[in-house]
Amino acid sequence: MFSALTKKFASSQRALFMHKVNGKYTGISYSAAREKVRACANGFASLGIAKGDRVSIISENRPEWAITDLAVVSLGAIDVPIYPTLTAKQTEFILNDAGVCAVIVSNQYQLNKVQKIAGNVSSLKHIIIMNDKPTDTPDVLSLHEVFARGGDFQAKNPQYVDDAIAMVRPDSLLTFIYTSGTTGNPKGVMLSHDNIVSNMINAARVIQIKEGFRMLSFLPLSHSFERMAGYYTSIACGGTIAYAESIETVRDNMLEVQPDVVMTVPRLFERIHSRILKQVESGSTLKKKIFYWGIGVGHEFQNARKRGEKSSILAMKNKVADKLVFSKVRERTGGRLQFFVSGGAALPREFGEFFEALGLTIIEGYGLTETSPVLTVNPREAYKFGSVGKTIPGVELKIAADGEILARGPNIMQGYWNNPEATAEVIDKDGWFHTGDIGVIDSDGYVYITDRKKHLFVSSGGKNIAPQPIENLFLGSRFIEQFVLIGDRRMFLTALIVPDFDVLKEYADSHKISYTSYSELVGASEIHQLIDRDIQTLQKDLSTYERVRKFRLLEKPLTIEDGELTPTLKVRRKVVEERYSALIEGMYEGIS
């Protein structure tokens, strides 16, 4: 695919990659990318890297990530990406488990991490750094040195890379992606070229990525969603990938890049939603009235559109609202955005409806690393919020007797590396992959995820409780940043809450609540009462056993660095419950 498309666009100046150089976005054309990949592949070949070898990339998103990845798989070798946020110990486990022979790191920080554990990884032969290498590291190669070696190797072996590409078959292994998991060691998901390519082709038919579309990339390339949808599919459709400087700069980078499509996770919408409301609430009474009037009109207009109803009066009101409100928000996305694609976690309905009212479409999909990853996507012209859409072509889904979603198709993984027992647990004799998700399929074929099978709580009274929908409900509060429900084998539900500290500080300042630290802020009785009132309002329609009876406010966010979140921002429940066990037990004290 890469070879064919870079030949097709060789004579054009179309950029395949864009990245910041000296403060300005600069493009790398399809033809230039082709030359870099071939030079890199020849350089790797000169080191003895060949078909079946495992090579790791530990880097933030940047063009060199894609260039080295494409060079590795051109040789028939297997890419083993590792999140740059993982610790040295976690990295060591993956390198040993996969039997990695070479590691490509982005910078000095990642190099230090690998050098610290290199002696414990017997298979490791080569360490390569993308940035300039330190002068005192003779055992490390820079990427520039690999390119130079590649030039010499290619002069002597001009057909080597083409011959290597020709040897790669559809069932050849492309990558091991280690699932982060919420507990225990990660498992290496084995995906073939056909797993990924079939998923690209079938997902693109539904998502409708057009030739020339520009994508902003900021989700980790180590994750299957960004890897397949934001990277490989973009190339397959003749698009351009612009790399954000970091997740913190996404807002500014959207203005600079002016993307057509952004692949993201619900967390981004939570942040944008919170920021918009914060700015609105700090404005004048008139501006607030105009904004909320506009949102109301937008909801009414979009609902009428989906029902097929037309009203010239409503259309005119929506046009006015668009000029006064919606267009200003859309301008902050760069002004060209066609749609967002949301994955990785469930999108709360209120966020989908909020952005829809503004004229920004969010297409939600669903899948897992083991399914390459996409199973379902909401059609662009017929999406249903709360649903993760319909199965993409080539994929079969069914609901098991216990409510678990089962999947079958060409995108299902080859298994877990070195772990046949775990493979047998999730892929049955008929080829059905057991997702571990609980869900339903409606009469129109739309899939709804209700929870993770293993995350179902069973109260001490015997009630089954799905925590995810309840957590999503409370995340709709403008005062709540993170929410962890507690209650498995307990008499009632409680929660650990990380508040939105910016919103709380504004509230405290406007209500003359004194504090000198976050600890004092969350300890203030007025703040506790504020959150409690919000919780009672939000949970009024829940069943009695689904309601949160007590909660504790945390004085700092849950983070990846502290091991409380996975690299895709999912809560590691076991870690959080152990770390805050004293707070949790305190909420159940005196209950017999």
Q: What is the CATH number of the domain that holds 242?
A: 3.40.50.12780
Residue 356 resides in a domain: no
Residue 552 tokens, joined: 């504790």
Residue 279 tokens, joined: 């700015």
Rounded Cα distance, 95 and 104, in Å: 12
Give the CA distances from residue 525 to residues 520, 529, 531, in Å, rounded to whole numbers and listed in that order.
10, 6, 10
Residue 555 tokens, joined: 């004085």
Residue 10 resides in a domain: yes
What is the reported pLDDT for 37? 98
Residue 244 resides in a domain: yes
Residue 151 resides in a domain: yes
Total domains in the chain come to 2
With H, G, I as helix, E, B as strand and everything else as coil, classify residue 361.
Answer: coil
Residues in the chain: 592
Yes or no: say if 434 and 424 are a contact pair by the CB < 8 Å rule.
no
Query: Three-state secondary structure along 191-211?
Result: EEHHHHHHHHHHHHHHHCCCC
What residues contact residue 279 under an 8 Å CB cut-off, 6+ apart? none
Phi first, then psi, for residue 560 (nearest 5°) are: -65, -45
Rounded Cα distance, 233 and 204, in Å: 7
Kindly give the residue spans of alpha helices, DSSP state H, lying in 9-62. 30-46
What is the reported pLDDT for 295? 97
What is the reported pLDDT for 462? 65
Domain C-terminal end among 217, 241, 264: 264
Nearest-5° Cα angle at 581, 579 to 587: 140
Q: Which residue, among 452, 481, 472, 439, has the nearest Cα to 348 in the 3D structure? A: 472
Pairing verdict, β 140-142 and 54-58: unpaired
**Residue 99 DSSP label:** T
Residue 318 resides in a domain: no
Yes or no: say if 250 and 218 are a contact pair by the CB < 8 Å rule.
yes
Rounded Cα distance, 58 and 271, in Å: 27
| First and final C-alpha spacing in the chain | 64
Residue 592 resides in a domain: no
**Structural domain of 14:** 2-168+208-264
Q: How many CB atoms lie within 10 A of CB 471?
A: 19
Residue 338 tokens, joined: 């066609």
The amino acid that residue 94 corresponds to is: I
What residues contact residue 52 under an 8 Å CB cut-off, 6+ apart? 76, 77, 78, 173
With H, G, I as helix, E, B as strand and everything else as coil, classify residue 54.
Answer: strand
Residue 72 resides in a domain: yes
Phi first, then psi, for residue 449 (nearest 5°) are: -90, 125
Residue 343 resides in a domain: no
Assess whether the previous peptide bond of 373 is cis (omega < 30° from 0).
yes
Domain C-terminal end among 264, 292, 309: 264
What is the reported pLDDT for 180? 63
Yes or no: say if 140 and 127 are a contact pair by the CB < 8 Å rule.
yes
Rounded Cα distance, 340 and 215, in Å: 10
The amino acid that residue 173 corresponds to is: L
**Residue 322 DSSP label:** I
Residue 99, by phi and psi: left (phi above 0), alpha (psi -120 to 50) or beta? left
For tokens 């939105």, name the residue.
Answer: 500
Residue 190 tokens, joined: 């084995």
Rounded Cα distance, 273 and 238, in Å: 32
Q: How many CA atoms lie within 13 A of 178 on its CB side?
A: 28
Residue 386 tokens, joined: 């709360």
Q: Which residue, among 440, 448, 446, 372, has the nearest Cα to 411 in the 3D structure? A: 372
Residues in the chain predicted with pLDDT less than 50, given as ranges, are: 182-183
Yes or no: say if 54 and 78 are a contact pair by the CB < 8 Å rule.
yes
The amino acid that residue 291 corresponds to is: F
Q: CATH no. for residue 512? A: 3.30.300.30
Q: Which residue, among 109, 115, 174, has the nearest Cα to 140 in the 3D structure? A: 115
